[in-house]
Amino acid sequence: MPYRVMVVDDSAFMRKIVSDLIEQDPAFQVQGTAKNGREALDLIESLSPDLVTMDVEMPEMNGLEALKHIMEQHPLPVIMLSGINEQGMRETIMALELGAFDFIRKPSASTSSHDIEQVGRELREQIRVAMLAKERRAARAAALETKAPERLPPVELSFSALHLTSPSTAPAERKPGKSRESLLGRGIAADQPKRNSEAKDVPASRKPLAKPLTDAKPAPAASATRPESRAAIVQSDAKVAKEDLHQAVSPKTRSKAETLSTAKPGQRRPAEPPSRQAAELEQAARERERAKEAAARTEFTDLVAIGTSTGGPKALKAVLEKLPANFPAPIVIVQHMPPNFTKSLAQRLNSLSELTVVEAEEGMRLQAGTAYVAPGGYHLNVVPASDGSYKVSLTGQEPRNGHRPSVDVMYDSLLPLQTLKRHIVLLTGMGSDGARSMKRLYEAGVTSTIAESEESCVVYGMPRSAIEMGCVSQVLPLHEIGFRLAQVVK
């Protein structure tokens, strides 16, 4: 029996094109069409389709409003058809955050027949993956209800990561302005067993990765190329302060003070304007402080790399919003997306996270507390800079695993960076991009490798591939990954 699909679009022409593209595969049948969100909700109630394709911009009720109702009342996979204008891209990112399965770029009347065929292939592939994911989740839920043993790939853990909190210490909702300690107050003590007991839990073949994080080599005090020691900086600041004090009582200033002191009794003294020297001193102090803060942000010892695909925007939001603004490491991210959409994704994540989130640009210096999203159409590499810091390098090389940006390419660029403590994270997504390079990093002895567990994945593809390769040290549900990073990255 074919899967039943509903097509929602305000254009009769587009409903026809999309329906024809879907039914090129006999496994799919278009059960009904709707011209706006309100009509779609009524038809979903009566027809109960397996999947919906949804236009974003429609009269009466747009795609975002309809999607909210669907997720609340009749949760089912929804694939968004997105316009390529800036507004359409922003709304698509919001739709993915609300729970849409994925999106494709909407064909237009001017789209070539070749491009329309490509859109059709992508759409049918997404429908196929969505149906497989839906069936797998249903089978898992049924197995849990009947308490039947479920055949899942074996997973070895080098940390007792699935028991971060006791039942009585569930994490409270994080609110803006909370301290780092409050973010980590989820039962950290329970997550820090004695070294001996932790070592007993780790298989012999995995002990190099299970080494306690507290045994890591101490971070260098400063960059090798930095000419100033801490003492020199303190001395320099003291000298500047001394010179500033001398300027503040210059002859001109003293003369002005004497003039004011000789005013006649009862005569009202003119208001003293702000001292120009004082304003300049204050500005110089602020600039020195900013320079010190900028230098500190580039002198990190840890680096986090996250790869994701289908379901990624919502997963990234869940991870990044758990991290404080002063997170002591940069984060590099590959999300499978076409050009321009990644910029909208970075802007959206930046508005929702305490971190600074940007779309990566060529030559950007990595800074702690900042997340860099690989731009669509370019591979992201992390490379050393001449001054001892690290920077972004973008390349237009051929796609790998069918993707550009590719998670494997980003992970591979981290292999030579052995002076950094590298934390490798693989979130929801179809396929296996990232798994092979995660294995190479794992064998090279990176600090931690984390994969999202099946229970929270939209598509359990990329994490599963890594787990089956035996290169994952921690398997965590999505809501725990951000907290875990905040604990292990020092």
Q: What are the catalytic residues?
A: 309, 336, 433
State the distance between the two ends of the chain, measured CA to CA, in whole angstroms. 54
SS3 37: helix
Q: Residue 402, Cβ neighbours under 10 Å: how many?
A: 9
H/E segment holding residue 123: helix 113-146
Nearest to 490 by CA among 327, 294, 321, 366: 327
Torsion of Cα atoms, 317 then 319 then 320 then 324, to 10°: 140
SS3 23: coil
**Residue 145, CA distances (Å) to 14, 142, 459 in order:** 42, 5, 21
SS3 180: helix
DSSP H helices in 396-461: 407-413, 435-444
SS3 56: coil
DSSP H helices in 172-266: 180-183, 195-200, 230-248, 251-261
The one-letter amino acid at 265: P
Strand-pair partners of 356: 370
Cα 296 to Cα 292: distance, rounded to the nearest angstrom: 6
Tell me the helix, strand and coil percentages in the chain, rounded to 5: 45, 15, 40
Place of tokens 């065929």: 117
Could you say which DSSP state residue 405 is in?
Answer: S
Extract the runs of DSSP E, i.e. beta strands, from 349-420.
Answer: 356-359, 370-373, 379-384, 390-395
- The contacts of residue 56 (CB under 8 Å, 6+ apart) are 62, 63, 64, 80, 81, 82, 83, 88, 91, 92, 95
- Residue 297 · residue 369 · CB < 8 Å: yes
